[in-house]
Amino acid sequence: MTPHNHQSIIFMKMRVKLKIDQLTSLAQQLPFEVILDHPRDVKGFLEILGHNMPWEETGLSKFGDPVRKPNRVAFSVEAVDGGYICDVHPAFACYISNVLTTNSSESE
């Protein structure tokens, strides 16, 4: 694999749509109150949530260097009706999905 190809894998992004109630559920993972009004707030929230992610347990090696945690987990956020479209690191998208699935099954 050439260095150029390896680098493009590390910075790969995944586009996800998060609804307001999903963001509220994710906000419960942090030890402080989170107020999300604007796309910039959501992006900052996702970056903070990403710092708590157990990277070594979620298959980061599928998407890049398993030894190095990415510098950023959220790249852009755009407001849409009922939620936000977020470009995030693929491993972080898997983590968000797992957290939301676990939260919804616990509340049933």
Average pLDDT over residues 52-78: 78
User: How many domains is the chain partitioned into structurally?
Assistant: 1
In whole angstroms, give the CA distance from residue 85 to residue 56: 26
pLDDT in tens, 24-58: 999 998 889 889 999 999 999 999 999 888 877 66
- Residues with Cβ within 8 Å of 70's Cβ and at least 6 positions away in sequence, in order, are 10, 64, 89, 91
Give the structural domain span for 73. Answer: 3-106
**Rg of the chain, C-alpha, whole Å:** 14
Dihedral, CA atoms, 29, 108, 100, 67, nearest 10 degrees? 80
DSSP secondary structure letter of residue 85:
E
Res 67: pLDDT: 66
Q: What does pTM read for this prediction?
A: 0.78
Are 63 and 9 contacting, i.e. CB atoms less than 8 angstroms apart? yes
Let me know the angle formed at the C-alpha of 66 by 59 and 89, rounded to the nearest 5 degrees.
60
Average pLDDT over residues 53-72: 72
Average pLDDT over residues 10-26: 88
Are 86 and 63 contacting, i.e. CB atoms less than 8 angstroms apart? no
